Amino acid sequence: MSDAVLTAKSGHVLTITINRPDKRNAMNAGVVAGIAAGWRAAHADDDVRVIVLTGAGDKAFCAGADLGGGQSFFQDLSKPTSDYADLLRLAQNGTKPSIARVNGTCMAGGMGLLCMTDMAVAADDVVFGLPEVKVGVFPMQVLSLLQRIVPRRLVAEWCLTGEPFGPEEARAAGLVNHVVPRAELDARVDWLVGRLVDKSPTAIRRGKYAMRAIEAMSFDEAIAFTEGQIALTAATEDAKEGIKAFQEKRKPVWTGR
C-alpha cells in the first residue's frame, strides 16, 4: 500500500488516513490507489465492521486533486475509466458502513471522498468547497454522488460559484451528519462507530446492497425487489440469532452469517 495512505485496525474498525499533510492531503495516484486498497482490505476482513476515512493532521481532510507537477487529475486518457471514478464505484458497491472523519479543509475531489462514505462527522471549523470553476474545470465526477445527497439548487450554487461554505451549511444540506467542536471530533466518531459495531453485520451488509440496488428503481420495482430481500435476510443466521436473543432478553452474538 502507498505511503501516501495509512491504514490501522482497532477492534472492528479499519481507519484509512490520507497521509500527505504537507500537501493538504491532496490526492495523487498513490492516494487514490491507497484508499482503494484500504477499502478492499476492509471488505476482505470479516472482523472489520466499519471503515473510517480521514486525513492526517488537523488542517485538511482532502483539498482535492494535487495539481502540481503538471499531472492534472492524474488520469491516463488511454483508459476508459479513471482511477478516481473507479474508487467512487468501489465505495458505492461496498457493503460495509463507512464514516468520513472530516478533520479539516474538504475541497473539490475531497468532496467526492466525503460523498462516497455513508455518514460524516465534521469539526466546526472546517471549510468546504467546490472551487473547480476557478481553475477552468468542473466537479464532474463529484456530481455523480453530490446530487443524490444535496438539494439541486445548493449543488448549483456550490458548483457554479466555486465559493466556500461552512460546516453548518453542510449539515443543513445533509452533506454531513454531525458538526462538533474540534476537541470532540474523535469522541463523536467513536460514538457513531459504537452504534454500528453492535448491530448485525449481515443485516447491514444486505441492507447496504438493497439501498444501492433500489436507487434507480421505480416504486413498483423497488417494493418487489425488497419484499424478496426481507425474506432472504430473515433466513440468515444473524436474523435467527437476533430474534432468539430478543425472545430470551439478552444481547445477540452476531456471526455475520
Closest Cα partner for 53 from 29, 25, 72, 73? 25
Q: Strand pairing of 119-123 and 128-129?
A: unpaired
pLDDT at 2: 57
Q: How confident is the model at residue 73 (pLDDT cuts 50, 70, 90)?
A: low
Q: How confident is the model at residue 69 (pLDDT cuts 50, 70, 90)?
A: low
SS (H, E, C) 90-104: HHHCCCCCEEEEECC
Q: Is the CA virtual torsion 31, 32, 36, 42 positive or negative?
A: positive
pLDDT at 248: 94
The residue type found at 73 is: F
How many angstroms separate the CA atoms of 100 and 121, rounded?
Answer: 6
How many angstroms separate the CA atoms of 48 and 147, rounded?
Answer: 29
Q: What is the mean pLDDT of residues 197-223?
A: 96
What percent of the chain clears pLDDT 70, i.e. is strictly above it?
Answer: 96
How many other β-carbons are positioned within 10 Å of the β-carbon of residue 48? 18
Stretch (H or E) spanning 90? helix 83-92
Give the mean pLDDT of the chain: 93
Do 174 and 117 touch, CB atoms closer than 8 A?
no
pLDDT at 74: 57
pLDDT at 72: 53
pLDDT at 1: 46
Query: What are the pLDDT digits (tens) for 158-169?
Result: 999 999 999 999
Alpha-helical runs (H) found in 93-200: 109-116, 140-146, 152-161, 167-172, 185-197
What percent of the chain clears pLDDT 90, i.e. is strictly above it?
Answer: 91
User: Grid coordinates representing 21?
Assistant: 499533510
Closest Cα partner for 32 from 109, 139, 138? 109
Q: What is the mean pLDDT of residues 82-107?
A: 96
